[in-house]
Chain A
Amino acid sequence: MKKNIVIYFISAVIFIFTFFPFYWIIATSFKTPIDIYKVPPAIIPGSITFENYITAFTKNHIDVFMVNSLIVSVPSVFLSTLISVFGAYAASRLAFKGKKVFKAGLVSTQFFPMIVILIPLFMLCRILKLYNSYMALILPYIATQVPISILLLSNYFADIPREMEEAARIDGCSRMQTLMKVILPLAVPGIAATSIYSFVQVWQEYLIASSFISNQSKFTLTVGLSTFQGQHATDWGGLMATAVVIALPALFLFTSAQQYFINNLAGGVKE
């Protein structure tokens, strides 16, 4: 009995520590300014308002940031996954000279700090006249997502039985046909999970997005949060409403595909 109480107490503490911040984001986003700035803070909002969401969209124009985030994320994820599907198939199924170097190169990128390539990328952007354009984000995003996507996808491809491939080859399919008609359909869940992982990464990227874009009309959502911070005061209600808008798709997508990549993620880097 005593043991049970201890267990329930610990689980309650873990639960509160883990989830209170989420409650606070959501609660603050629905609070009136009076409740937000009340001392002591109101744990349960006195009244619920949608005003913060309305100002976020009408005054801070987070709809523009949202569209920008989508314009940047969708092509980045699509192209990096497409490139990675081919790379991963070669890396997991085909024998070729330099395969070890290729794989080692992929793994080593996971150890490189983004900051080490940030400045040359910035110079490259200026030379190619990409500064303040969506391409300034899309190209680096593709390059950073390709290695991890190939590593994740290789694991899925490795699970597809070789017999399927051999049967297709014997039936007269070319290598390309085998890949497109046999392997890819079987790997759809893995491809979906990988693109979800990439999307979550790109959607929340901040370092490149805040360094390569200075024009507010091109801000992505994460950078756009700073528009709620004024010189003297922060509009916490609007900021937290925007936080909900940023976090919801990421959380929803991630939890829907969670079991696919937790182990692969650690495994891919460990090898």
Chain B
Amino acid sequence: MLKAENSPKTAIKSLLYKESIFPYLLIAPGSVALLLFIAYPMITNIFMSFFDYKLVQIIKPFVFLDNYIQVLSSGRIWESLVRTITWTGFNILFMNILGLIVAIFLATGFRGNTVIKATILIPWVLPQVVTGYTWSLMLSQDIGVVNHMLQSLGIVPPNFSWFQSGGLAMTAVIIANVWRGFPFFALMIYAKLSTLPRDQVEAARIDGANIKDVFIHITVPYIQSTIKTCSLLAFIWTFNAYDILKVMTNGGPAEETLTLSLIVQREAFQYYELSRAATMSVVMFFAMFAILALLKGIMDLSARRNDR
């Protein structure tokens, strides 16, 4: 009797805490969440791009590559891809430049650099939507404070508007996004710079190297890996950025700042062209990895050339 009562309990217990099954129990909830809400939608997305999904119709015919032919043969996605690349490229370039300047500056250890170090990441934490609205206000044509300053300094003509041409609108959002992103670069590069071995620099100086030589031959190679990591992260964030563009330009004027993220969201939630949107997002996904692979190839190639 006693045995019968106890055995199921101990059986469950030993099953639960057996070495082999315990780890799987721990990762089960996380794995389920990932499979259900990330992996399954990913696969469904590709699946949808081969069908003609419409919200209103029940039959969803298999159209194979028709969606791709339609999407890729219209100029809209290519223009959007070029815009996305321009947007990403300039963002990363200026985040690096500004980040590097601030990092070097922090590394000089001037008085007050602890204050800047502690607070510089604040723009990075400000919600993207808030950043977008704030820069929209500061750059607005009539009451924008930054716009007014630029006018009184003679940098831009009177009645200047950032949001009437595509190029300028893109520049405005890039300014806002660089403001948001450069502190991350500055802090990461500074962290790496502060571990730069002093004796190496001193030895080079004794051997007659000037500051410029030290910078190019010691500092740059030393921080290269950090710059690569930061740029990779920024690439992913910027290529997929949505909030700040949506709030500041909503893709306008005349779709001239409509990047791939915005075009997919618009097709899906404004026009309800779900299959076309899914197809575009698949294209976007592969474009992103193709660019990353290309960049990696170029970097490997140049690294090999440098080794020679």
Asked whether, in the complex, the Cβ of B31 is within 8 Å of the Cβ of A14, the reply is: no
How many residues on chain A are close to B (CB under 8 Å)? 88
B contact residues, range: 35 or more
Q: Which of A53-61, A80-88, A187-195 sits within the interface?
A: A80-88
Chain B residues lying within 8 Å of A52, measured Cβ to Cβ, are: none
The B interface, classified by DSSP as helix, strand, loop or mixed, is helix
B167 at the interface (CB under 8 A from A): no
Residue of B nearest to A139 (CB): B37
Asked whether, in the complex, the Cβ of A222 is within 8 Å of the Cβ of B191, the reply is: no
Asked whether, in the complex, the Cβ of A119 is within 8 Å of the Cβ of B38, the reply is: no
B243 at the interface (CB under 8 A from A): yes
Asked whether, in the complex, the Cβ of B122 is within 8 Å of the Cβ of A251, the reply is: yes
- Contact check: which of A28, A87, A200 meets B30 at CB < 8 Å? A87
Q: In the complex, how many residue pairs between chain A and chain B have their CB atoms under 8 Å apart?
A: 248
Asked whether, in the complex, the Cβ of B126 is within 8 Å of the Cβ of A113, the reply is: no
Asked whether, in the complex, the Cβ of A222 is within 8 Å of the Cβ of B129, the reply is: yes
Asked whether, in the complex, the Cβ of B26 is within 8 Å of the Cβ of A146, the reply is: no
B27 at the interface (CB under 8 A from A): yes
Residues on A facing B (Cβ under 8 Å) = 7, 10-11, 14-15, 17-19, 21-22, 24-25, 28, 36-41, 43, 80, 83-84, 86-87, 89-91, 94-96, 99, 102, 105-106, 109-124, 126, 139-140, 142-144, 146-147, 150, 174-176, 200, 203-204, 206-207, 210-211, 222, 225, 236, 239-240, 243, 246-247, 250-251, 254-255, 258, 262-263, 266, 269-270
Residues on B facing A (Cβ under 8 Å) = 16-17, 19-20, 22-27, 29-31, 33-34, 36-38, 40-42, 44-45, 48, 53, 55, 102, 105, 108, 110, 112-113, 116, 118-123, 125-131, 133-135, 137-138, 142-145, 148, 152, 179, 183, 187-188, 191, 229-230, 232-233, 236, 239-240, 242-243, 246-247, 260-261, 264-265, 268-269, 274, 277-278, 281-282, 284-285, 288
